[in-house]
Amino acid sequence: MSLHIRPAALADAAAIAPLFDAYRQFYEQPADLPMAQHFVAQRLERSESVILLALDECDVAVGFCQLYPSFCSVEAAPIYVLYDLYVSPSARGQGAGRYLLLAAEDHARRQGRVRMDLTTAHTNHLAQSLYESMGWELDTVFRAYTRRVG
């Protein structure tokens, strides 16, 4: 499979939405394609995230990753949070995830980000394997906590 990665534009929201919806379902959220398209379109329209899109040789979207700009107070520098990474089951095992991560790293570097952070489920061993094979380091210093407020 021949792949190419490019930044997504607002016009890509409909192509990204099924992938984003499948990503959310992987994390045990109910299917909601209209919500997925709305959410993706808002992020792109408002320039609140960067979405990199993996396309096959027929220009069909087969994967994406979404980066949210943030800052690290300790390093006093800008970073990206790589929040979403998803490759459709039919395109897995062909390097799409690796190419998306490499494209994200290149984009972050060009944007002056000092690092990228990500989290994944404890049970997502396949993703963990990919991250570690590419030099991502498991954080053994800090604990992540969340609290719902709304």
86-141 pLDDT, tens digit per residue, is: 999 999 988 999 999 999 999 999 999 999 999 999 999 999 999 999 999 999 99
Query: What was the pLDDT predicted at 65?
Result: 98
1, pLDDT greater than 90: no
Q: Note the pLDDT tens digit of each residue in 82-92.
A: 999 999 999 99
Query: What was the pLDDT predicted at 67?
Result: 98
Q: Note the pLDDT tens digit of each residue in 30-79.
A: 999 999 999 999 999 999 999 999 999 999 999 999 999 999 999 999 99
Question: Which residues have CB under 8 Å from 101's CB, separation 6+?
Answer: 65, 82, 85, 130, 131, 134
Query: What was the pLDDT predicted at 62?
Result: 97
pLDDT band at 5 (very low <50, low <70, confident <90, very high): very high
Percentage above 70 pLDDT, the chain: 99
Query: What was the pLDDT predicted at 129?
Result: 94
The CATH fold of domain 4-119: Aminopeptidase (3.40.630)
Distance CA 60, CA 134 (A): 26
Query: What was the pLDDT predicted at 44?
Result: 98
